[in-house]
Structure 1
Amino acid sequence: MSKSSNGVPRQCLPREVLKWIQSLDLSYSVRNARRDFANGFLVAEIFSWYYPQDIQMHSYDNGISLPTKLGNWSQLERFFSKKKLDIPKEMIDGTIHCKPGAAELLVQTIYSSLTNRVVRTLESEPPVDFTDGNYQMKLPLHARSTASHSIKNNLKITEFMTEPNIITNKEKAHTIIENHLKRRTLERVEDPARFNIKPTLGEMAERYCPPNNSDNNPPIPFPSGYSERDSKPGSRHTIDTRGSVHFKEVQVRQVDKSSQPSVYPGSYQTAQAV
């Protein structure tokens, strides 16, 4: 698997998808899916084979500028909405901005939609978040990116040009930083000695599992003030010795109120008389 300029490995398309693309006899061959599918020209040419009356190739431009990409994909999005094709907006944005794994996942989704075939990688692999997080976790600890380098790798300049809203871009940057902090937390868990992390008092404390009801385990001692006869069923209070926590059942004798003289009503009448 080859690597791109920023060190992130390029994800290759499955063999069955590559054979399907070659059978369509496109204008030019696909060498780098992330770069070749970014402007949407090849995507439009693929759909022109299946919908020749709806896709006119003279309406699409094979350029690399951002306005060209946005113009081609806006036409494709209207076509997807018209034909009710389930192409997620996140995949389209990731393909436009050349996010890792976005173009590959988009082509596989289009392949499944047009041919009604299931791609194994779509079922076996987890959803792609279009960042270099999975790649960073495979690197050794000393070779992983810092927070500023993560923002540089995962936030493209074309995203600022497409969405100039400062608040939206800040939210994207905060999301990248939060994911970076989560990875740093996992690094501390993987190698605490490297970060000189000392165990807490609770971690150093010994833990005892509750004993099982078998003959090999020693009997559980009774609390002070009780003996073995108190745990028998006929005793006044019974102690449950099934675990480390002891339970005591106390029998309380209730007084029959019907046999007792009524005191409170008389006191109430006396108070009324006074």
Structure 2
Amino acid sequence: MSSYPEAPRRTGVPRDVLRWLQSLDLSVSPKNFRRDFSNGFITAEIFYWYYPEDIQLHSFDNGTSLATKLGNWSQLEKFFLKRNLNLSKELIDGTIHSKPGAAELLLQEIYVMLTNRRIKTLQDNEVDFTDRNYQDKLPMVARSTATKAVKSNITLSETLAEPDIIINQQKVQAVIDLHLLQRQQERIDDPRRFNVKPSVGELALRIPPPPDNPGSESSLSNRSASSLSSSSSIRSKSNVNFKEIQVKQGDRSYVSSSMTSTASSSALSTS
């Protein structure tokens, strides 16, 4: 059995479902839904009121052993198959092994199935049959460790009913992964408690540039666009007059005489 408190377990049952359950005048009045619905005896008695020809109560035992639970639910599953009643296998397994919220949700499914009424469930969060919602309400110092989380969310009856070691290892790993995600969220919510130092990027002051900043990309693109438009406008004008520039020529006679003297000196040297 799980070791966390039992207070939150009855909050998932709407008042209409409780009134309907009391109107059936059952031989056993459920007080602890997780414990009283686990063996399937109350579930069999509920369906007996609607299908008396298919349910024989004398074949069900109101015991607490794992063999009694599996035997009662095995008969119920055969009855569900015969009547084409679709009850979630996950809810049934969660109810057998006293998972948090499983019995309450199973009772609501049975209520909708037998009465054809719609109800607004009080449990809007994602159902994972763990004590995550209860752990979120506790202060950080009182929350479970990884070992405690595995012990609280995986019961002994669950491991005995499923002898496959690999499946049990997968269940344990799923609980540990959920616990690590919760720890990571705690570090994000309260980084000072875990002495998490901010990174350089988080410490850097980010000031967004103004829209008319001359160094921004938008201004540069606007400049290039304006220069292109101005050059294209200049090229498009046909009546533009260009002024001719007069360049003064130097004395070419001096250049030719110097070249002649250089050529004669080179000829004498070779001879």
TM range (shorter): 0.7 to 0.9
- Corresponding position of 1:132: 131
- Corresponding position of 1:81: 81
- Corresponding position of 1:30: 30
In 1, Cα distance between equivalents of 2:192 and 2:73: 50
Unaligned ranges ≥5, structure 1: 212-216, 238-274
- Corresponding position of 1:199: 198
Q: In structure 2, the residue corresponding to 1:179 is in which secondary structure?
A: helix
Letter in 2 for 1:107: L
Q: Can you list the C-alpha shifts for 1:177-236, whole angstroms capped at 9, x where unaligned?
A: 11000000000001100111011122122334465xxxxx5444378xx79763326246
In 2, Cα distance between equivalents of 1:222 and 1:194: 41
Q: In structure 2, the residue corresponding to 1:120 is in which secondary structure?
A: coil
In 2, Cα distance between equivalents of 1:229 and 1:206: 29
- Cα distance change of structure 1 residues 196 and 229 upon mapping to structure 2, 3 Å threshold: closer
* Rg larger in structure: 2
Letter in 2 for 1:170: Q
Task: State the 4+ residue runs in structure 1 displaced beyond 2 angstroms.
Answer: 4-11, 205-211, 217-223, 226-231
- Cα distance change of structure 1 residues 53 and 195 upon mapping to structure 2, 3 Å threshold: same
- Corresponding position of 2:114: 114
Unaligned ranges ≥5, structure 2: 233-271
In 1, Cα distance between equivalents of 2:214 and 2:8: 62
Letter in 1 for 2:5: G
State whether residues 39 and 72 of structure 1, in contact with CA within 8 Å, keep that contact through their aligned partners in structure 2: yes
TM-score (norm 1): 0.76
CA root-mean-square deviation: 2.2
- Cα distance change of structure 1 residues 16 and 222 upon mapping to structure 2, 3 Å threshold: closer
- Cα distance change of structure 1 residues 229 and 140 upon mapping to structure 2, 3 Å threshold: closer
The correspondence of residues 90-169 of structure 1 with structure 2, limited to 5 A, is: 90-121=90-121, 125-169=124-168
Q: Can you list the C-alpha shifts for 1:91-110, whole angstroms capped at 9, x where unaligned?
A: 10110011111101100110
Letter in 2 for 1:10: P
In 2, Cα distance between equivalents of 1:135 and 1:53: 42
- Corresponding position of 1:221: 215
- Relative CO higher for 1 or 2, CA cutoff 8 Å, sep ≥ 6? 2
- Corresponding position of 1:68: 68
In 1, Cα distance between equivalents of 2:231 and 2:204: 38
- Cα distance change of structure 1 residues 121 and 229 upon mapping to structure 2, 3 Å threshold: closer
In 2, Cα distance between equivalents of 1:218 and 1:189: 37
In 1, Cα distance between equivalents of 2:83 and 2:64: 27
- Corresponding position of 2:224: 230
State whether residues 34 and 100 of structure 1, in contact with CA within 8 Å, keep that contact through their aligned partners in structure 2: yes
State whether residues 9 and 135 of structure 1, in contact with CA within 8 Å, keep that contact through their aligned partners in structure 2: no
State whether residues 48 and 57 of structure 1, in contact with CA within 8 Å, keep that contact through their aligned partners in structure 2: yes
Aligned residues: percent identity?
Answer: 56
- Corresponding position of 2:182: 183
In 1, Cα distance between equivalents of 2:194 and 2:78: 52
Q: In structure 2, the residue corresponding to 1:171 is in which secondary structure?
A: helix
Out of 81-90 and 64-73, give the one that drifted further: 81-90
Q: Can you list the C-alpha shifts for 1:111-164, whole angstroms capped at 9, x where unaligned?
A: 011111112116x61232110011111111111000000011001000111011
- Cα distance change of structure 1 residues 229 and 182 upon mapping to structure 2, 3 Å threshold: closer
Q: In structure 1, the residue corresponding to 2:31 is in which secondary structure?
A: coil
